[in-house]
Structure 1
Amino acid sequence: MNVFIIGVGLIGGSLALDIQKEFTSATVYGIDQNTDHLQKALDLGIIHKKTTNADLINADIVIIAIPVDVSLKVIPEVLDQVSDTCLVLDVGSTKEEICEIIKKHPKRRNFLATHPIAGTEFSGPNAALTGLYKGKTNIICEVEKTAFKLQEKALDIFSKLGMRIRYMDPKSHDKHIAYVSHLSHISSFMLGKTVIEKEKNERDIFDMAGSGFASTVRLAKSSPAMWAPIFQQNKENVIETLEEYIQNLENFKALLEQDNFSAVYAEMENTNHIKQILSGIQEVKLL
């Protein structure tokens, strides 16, 4: 099985490592515009060989793990070049625009739109790690538009990598992911920005930052090259979530100004319900 990974950073590189582990006969090829990343992926054993788009005709599977704005151009080009039996899938964080742009492509049946909900705040080949996807949810959009045999091929890979499958239409995916992922990243970036601007002495940040601050601002270390295009593609949903988030912040601020600390307590107590929601998610992932 010839597996081509376009984009050998955290997401693509981690997929490459897990595929090598579970499919020992697979040969993993890497394609990346960053030649240093490509060489590093080869040196680290993330890929077996470097290659280019010219060899895509030999691919059995192509995994596209690049920023979503670049994917809009690359996915149709890849579909133009692959064989009729090749599975092409992307793993980007937005789905509606990508599904729209390839909906009339002659090889639409070769494409599967997926979004594994996995990652870290790090990027590049050095960030790739085995087991990243075990127990994680993989959202698949418009599965009915993919050839059945290629669906089976993809599901076999996802199953062996330990992923849970959830089916969703692209519009719903982008709306929900704006709340549970995109808003989290914006909040983290802006918290980091606020602290950096206020605390000019970096030593003060280092000395006083506890684990709460570190965990909350962790996502601010994420790659802007990846996240700015995500916010652009999902602009309407992101703005909607921000409006609701800002309103909650304004309401909380008003309670403080009014010395209404019983209401502050009630707000936090009601939000504690998130513990039950998240513990339920963890239990499902452990099954």
Structure 2
Amino acid sequence: MVNINSISIIGLGLIGGSLARALRLKRPALKIYAVDSCIPSLRLAEQEEIIDLGYSDVCPDIYNSDIIFICTPVRKAMEYLAGLSDKVRENCIITDAASTKAEICSFVESLNRPPVFVGGHPMAGTEKSGYHNSFAHLFENAYYVLTPTKTTEQDTILTLEAVLKDIGAIPIVVTPHQHDLVTGCISHVPHVIASALVNLARDKENSEGLVKLLAAGGFKDITRIASSNPGMWENIVLSNSETVIDLLKDYTYIIENFIEQIRSADNKGIYRFFEEAKIFRDSFSTRATGLLPPSYELLVDVRDEPGIIGSIATLLGVNGINIKNINVSNSREFEQGCLRITLSDQLNTDRAYDILSGNSYRVFRQD
């Protein structure tokens, strides 16, 4: 870490809490301060020695920090930036972690005395929120986007890159508008579509609850992100509204064209629709984590016999692998196994795969 002695984190939720944990793990001597309205979270972080001191509002310790991470929704982040701009040290670096970048970067550049600011966005997260759901390895092998502004010097980028690499992230530098277009395509619009699919299923549900009963793993996988915080996504969509609207129009065009292919029984067109999607999807890297929350799951093809779940759980347990969830998939039209095992991270998923395969179980990864 380059000449960094103290870091402040404003917003000690999932992202801010995970950042604090990662920094504490990698740099035990670093002074870490936090600001949050949730006093119990601050006191817990102090008790766990993740932060040195927690405050309910900004104060001199925050102003005098070498780096300030603002880990709040974009509108709240802009409020903090307005208050910090003329109070922080001249060489203090301020960055954020919001999901949109153009709006906040433009806001900083419009200030009378803009601080040294770099937009930031960790391409990692989970459906859960709050400090109690944070964990130190959230950023490992995850892309972390940095978007410079007119107050950003090359040394600023190098310093932030050093900090992010230290916690296992992969920093990349793009413009704010590039960021918002890409994340609109791969995150913001998919959240809209996932929520729309769930609302469609809700509208078609019958009195016997058949939709929920037969909802297969595939449906739950593609709609998993619909369980995310509604308030957060209201904020994101409005902050990136023009891009989201344009992308939804493009998506609507694709769907309308596909409807016409079905109506006209265009076999070649329908086949090409699925083929092109498969080819592009299969080209995605499986090594680095992305913006949408990862799912660490294995499917195991087993017979329905007494003790089989206990045997698998014991086998993994004696090898030090913690199972977050294990359940029988009763509706598995497009799944390769009936036992779905959810694990904590990629390392344990890989180890579980090797152990189960080595013990003659038929195991399938979830890509």
Instruction: Name the CA distance, whole Å, in 2 between partners of 1:46 and 1:261.
Output: 59
Alignment TM-score, normalising by the size of structure 1:
0.89
Which residue number in structure 2 is paired with residue 156 of structure 1? 162
Identity %: 27
The alignment's C-alpha RMSD in Å is 2.3
Asked if the contact 1:67/1:229 (under 8 Å) is kept, the reply is yes
User: Alpha carbons of 1:265 and 1:128: their partners in 2 closer, same or farther (altered >3 Å)?
Assistant: same
User: Is 1:17 aligned to residue 21 of structure 2?
Assistant: yes
Instruction: Name the CA distance, whole Å, in 1 between partners of 2:254 and 2:213.
Output: 30
Number of equivalences: 284
Alignment TM-score, normalising by the size of structure 2:
0.71
User: Alpha carbons of 1:201 and 1:262: their partners in 2 closer, same or farther (altered >3 Å)?
Assistant: farther
Q: Look up the equivalent residue of 2:223 and give its one-letter code.
A: V
Of 87-96 and 77-86, the range deviating more from structure 2: 77-86
Asked if the contact 1:109/1:146 (under 8 Å) is kept, the reply is no
Instruction: Name the CA distance, whole Å, in 2 between partners of 1:121 and 1:169.
Output: 27
Instruction: Name the CA distance, whole Å, in 1 between partners of 2:130 and 2:199.
Output: 23
Q: Which runs of 5+ in 1 are unaligned?
A: none
Instruction: Identify, as 1 or 2, the structure richer in helix.
Output: 1
SS in 1 for 2:81: helix
Instruction: Name the CA distance, whole Å, in 2 between partners of 1:80 and 1:223.
Output: 33
Q: Which runs of 5+ in 2 are unaligned?
A: 290-345, 347-367
Which residue number in structure 1 is paired with residue 229 of structure 2? 223
Q: Look up the equivalent residue of 1:268 and give its one-letter code.
A: F
SS in 2 for 1:81: coil
Of 47-56 and 8-17, the range deviating more from structure 2: 47-56
Asked if the contact 1:64/1:90 (under 8 Å) is kept, the reply is yes
Stretches of 4+ moved more than 6 A in 1? Answer: none
How far the C-alpha of 1:41 sits from its partner, in A, is 4.3
Q: What CA deviation, in whole Å up to 9, does each residue of 1:42-85 have, x standing for no partner?
A: 45655342113023223222110101121122122122322223
How far the C-alpha of 1:9 sits from its partner, in A, is 1.1
- Corresponding residue to 2:272 among 266, 273, 276: 266
Which residue number in structure 2 is paired with residue 134 of structure 1? 140
Instruction: Name the CA distance, whole Å, in 2 between partners of 1:39 and 1:200.
Output: 47
Asked if the contact 1:109/1:147 (under 8 Å) is kept, the reply is no
Instruction: Name the CA distance, whole Å, in 1 between partners of 2:48 and 2:252.
Output: 44
Asked if the contact 1:64/1:91 (under 8 Å) is kept, the reply is yes
Instruction: Name the CA distance, whole Å, in 2 between partners of 1:221 and 1:184.
Output: 13
Instruction: Name the CA distance, whole Å, in 2 between partners of 1:224 and 1:87.
Output: 31
Instruction: Name the CA distance, whole Å, in 1 between partners of 2:265 and 2:43.
Output: 59
Asked if the contact 2:117/2:148 (under 8 Å) is kept, the reply is no
Larger Rg: 2
Which residue number in structure 1 is paired with residue 130 of structure 2? 124
